[in-house]
């Protein structure tokens, strides 16, 4: 396979793994918020959050193993895909207008 194709596969698996990982992190924060305020409801349905929390580490592991087997640009693009998801989440939180 050519390097651009490997990089594209790495980026796509990184984006998918990062999204599932971020939803798992969101699930943890939603559970913690729920302990303090019972009326707090997450914007994403609970089953999606719970499934993503359970699948977070296996998807990251299998995505990493897949990209390690592909060769050089795969792991780098995989890491960049994950960083892109978390960077977009930070940008969204930073630019979101305050609703106080």
Give the pLDDT confidence of 6-50 residue by residue, as tens digits: 999 999 999 999 999 998 888 888 888 878 877 777 777 888 888
SS3 99: coil
- Taking the C-alpha atoms of residue 54 and residue 9, their distance in angstroms, rounded to an integer, is 24
Element (H, E) at 56: helix 46-70
Q: How many CA atoms lie within 13 A of 30 on its CB side?
A: 19
In this prediction the pTM is 0.81
């Amino acid at each position: 396979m050519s390097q651009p194709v490997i990089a594209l596969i790495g980026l796509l698996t990184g984006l998918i793994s990062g999204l599932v990982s971020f939803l798992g992190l969101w699930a943890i924060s939603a559970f913690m918020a729920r302990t303090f305020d019972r009326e707090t409801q997450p914007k994403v349905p609970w089953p999606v959050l719970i499934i993503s929390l359970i699948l977070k580490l296996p998807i990251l592991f299998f995505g990493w193993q897949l990209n390690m087997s592909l060769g050089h640009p795969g792991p780098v693009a995989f890491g960049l895909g994950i960083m892109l998801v978390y960077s977009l989440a930070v940008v969204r939180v930073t630019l979101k207008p305050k609703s106080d």
